[in-house]
Amino acid sequence: MNRGERLEHIWSITADAYRGYAGDRFPPTMQGQRTIMLWSATNGTILKLLDDLTDDEIAAKLPVHMRHLPTIAA
């Protein structure tokens, strides 16, 4: 599963209350892009563009069986 497919899955499994589209709080070039609510231990609840999620944030939102696990070197 590539990054785009992971993002699509996250978007589809996120409840409507926790996803939406960038509005007035974002620069005009970002308005209308998909957003998602995340919990950050340091910042609390944050609104972030779906396309700007880091690999760690993506992994945290995916079910365990869909996460990318690194190959363990023998």
72 inside domain = no
25 inside domain = yes
Q: What is the pLDDT of residue 62?
A: 86
26 inside domain = yes
24 inside domain = yes
29 inside domain = yes
Encode pLDDT of 64-74 as tens digits.
656 555 544 44
Q: What is the pLDDT of residue 66?
A: 60
35 inside domain = yes
- The whole domain housing 61 covers 3-66
Number of domains in the chain: 1
Q: Rounded to two decimals, what is the model's pTM? A: 0.79
Encode pLDDT of 6-65 as tens digits.
999 999 999 999 999 999 999 999 999 999 999 888 989 999 999 999 998 998 898 765
CA distance 53 to 7: 9
- In angstroms, how far is CA 26 from the centroid of its own chain? 17
